[in-house]
Structure formats: structure tokens, C-alpha cells
């Protein structure tokens, strides 16, 4: 997946498939769908602040153990 901030560079991250079922990640994807729709070709690109993404992933990982 790629994450990009408005007008900023894209950063690529490997996202574990199991994270797609986590409520925080589902909420992020839902927000993106609501704002930008689902039509994408190739790599999924999420217009999200990279720091915000790191925060979400940190919560998911901390709750997994």
C-alpha cells in the first residue's frame, strides 16, 4: 500500500493481510472510500498522513500481543 499526504511524496508500506480485519484499519479504509471512492488501479494508495498511519498500526500491533 502507498500512503501520501496532500502534495507530498508517497511512501510505500507492507501491510499484513490480517490488519485488514482490524476495526481501526477498517475505519481508515471506510473513510478513504467515503471521500475518494473505490476505483484504483494497481497499488492501493491511501491519502493519509503517514504519522497517522503509524499511530493506527502501533495501536493494532499493541492490541495484538
> What domain range includes position 10?
2-64
Residue 6 has pLDDT above 70, yes or no: no
Q: What is the pLDDT of residues 11-41, one digit of tens each?
A: 888 888 998 899 998 998 888 888 778 777 7
Global pTM?
A: 0.71
Using CA atoms, how far residue 17 sits from 25, 26, 35, 49, 59, in Å, is: 11, 12, 23, 21, 16
Domain total in the chain: 1
- pLDDT for the residue numbered 63: 80
Amino acid at each position: 500500500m502507498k500512503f501520501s499526504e496532500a502534495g507530498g511524496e508517497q511512501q510505500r508500506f507492507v501491510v499484513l493481510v490480517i490488519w485488514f480485519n482490524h476495526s481501526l484499519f477498517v475505519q481508515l479504509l471506510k473513510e478513504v472510500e467515503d471521500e475518494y471512492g473505490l476505483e484504483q488501479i494497481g497499488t492501493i494508495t491511501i491519502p493519509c498522513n503517514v504519522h497517522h498511519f503509524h499511530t493506527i498500526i502501533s495501536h493494532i500491533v499493541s492490541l495484538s500481543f
